[in-house]
Amino acid sequence: MNTISEFLSYPFIQRALLASLMVGILCPFVGNFAVLRRMSFFSDAISHSAFAGIAVGALLGLDLSLSSIAVSIIIALLIAFLSEKTSLSNDTVIGIAFSGTIAAGMLIIGMLKGYKPDIFTFLFGDILAISHIDLLLLFAITILSIATLLIFSKPFLQITFNRELAKVEGVNVRLFEYLLFLIIAIVVTVSLKIIGMILVTSLLIVPAAAAKNLASSMKQLFGLSCAFGLISGLIGLMASVYLNTSSGPTIVLVSIGIFFLTLFKRRA
């Protein structure tokens, strides 16, 4: 008990714990829409566009969090626009954005002088390096994203399950699709410092996929995915501190472990 009290007495651990709680709820909640709409490749593209934004920020001396969010939003809206206005499939447009942004990011990184430790924090994640400003930004994004999805849950679900029927019923499909793309882009980007660019899609997708194995209703799907996300974040964080491992990969591995448990439970 004394060990746990000592563990929780450090301010950086407290910030990390709060961040893991928020990301554990936020990513799976938003991830449900990504899973239902088969948008996991889109979230990958956004995480790589955030890498390009980080590179631009490092080159221009800007705040890396803000530059990554700005570029991610631009790319998300560009993907939505091209998917709507051209005859190209979503996968094709996302693939072009994916390869283009990672290439641009690598090119810019190669132009930078000296070692940039902040960039590697975003690449691999470091929840213990979360600052008060990062925490406030994450809190604001969590509240706004979940509130928006809850308030407009009906049209979001309508366009998820039947886009054409939603249009016939008078739903502004274009508005809500752009808004969903925007929310996913922002959520992926603000989670980078915690999970890392390489693994952030996993926390978005895996708890939602695990919940889908057990849920028999939409309410259960959202509830279970958030519960699995919370458990993954808390256990993964504590395990990473005690085992001296990277927090992002540890959290994701716990999440994948939960997924396989639900998969076996479903088949039992």
Q: What pLDDT score does 266 carry?
A: 66
Q: What pLDDT score does 115 carry?
A: 58
- Distance, CA of 43 to CA of 104 (rounded, Å): 18
Report which DSSP code applies to 197.
T
Torsion of CA 123, 96, 56, 73, to 10 degrees: -90
Report which DSSP code applies to 128.
G
CA atoms lying within 13 Å on the CB side of residue 122: 26
Mean pLDDT for 19-24 is 89
Residue indicated by tokens 């449900």: 32
Mean pLDDT for 223-245 is 89
- pLDDT surpassing 80 at residue 267: no
Q: What pLDDT score does 114 carry?
A: 66
C-alpha closest to that of 183 among 57, 69, 25, 56? 69
Region of poorest pLDDT, from 5-14, 66-75, 79-88: 5-14
- pLDDT surpassing 70 at residue 211: yes
Mean pLDDT for 11-23 is 86
Structure tokens at 178: 């752009």
pTM: 0.86
CB 176 within 8 A of CB 188: no
- pLDDT surpassing 50 at residue 1: no
Domain CATH for 23:
1.10.3470.10
Mean pLDDT for 39-50 is 82
Q: What pLDDT score does 254 carry?
A: 93
- Please give, one letter per residue, the 3-state secondary structure of 226-259: HHHHHHHHHHHHHHHHHHCCCHHHHHHHHHHHHH
CA 161 to chain CA centroid, nearest Å: 22
What is the span of the domain harbouring residue 234?
2-267
| Count of domains for the chain | 1
Q: What pLDDT score does 7 carry?
A: 66
- pLDDT surpassing 70 at residue 245: yes
Q: What pLDDT score does 239 carry?
A: 87
Mean pLDDT for 192-213 is 85
pLDDT tens for each residue of 125-169? 777 778 888 889 889 999 999 999 999 989 999 888 888 888 888
- Distance, CA of 35 to CA of 19 (rounded, Å): 23
Report which DSSP code applies to 170.
T
Single-letter code of the amino acid located at 33: F
Banded model confidence at residue 4, pLDDT cuts 50, 70, 90: low
CA atoms lying within 13 Å on the CB side of residue 251: 36
- pLDDT surpassing 60 at residue 236: yes
C-alpha closest to that of 176 among 196, 160, 200, 195? 160
- Distance, CA of 184 to CA of 33 (rounded, Å): 9
Mean pLDDT for 107-116 is 76
- Distance, CA of 132 to CA of 124 (rounded, Å): 20
Q: What pLDDT score does 230 carry?
A: 92
Cα torsion angle, 238, 244, 250, 254, sign = negative
- Distance, CA of 51 to CA of 251 (rounded, Å): 21
| Winning range, highest mean pLDDT, from 9-13, 128-132, 198-202, 205-209 | 205-209
Q: What pLDDT score does 2 carry?
A: 44
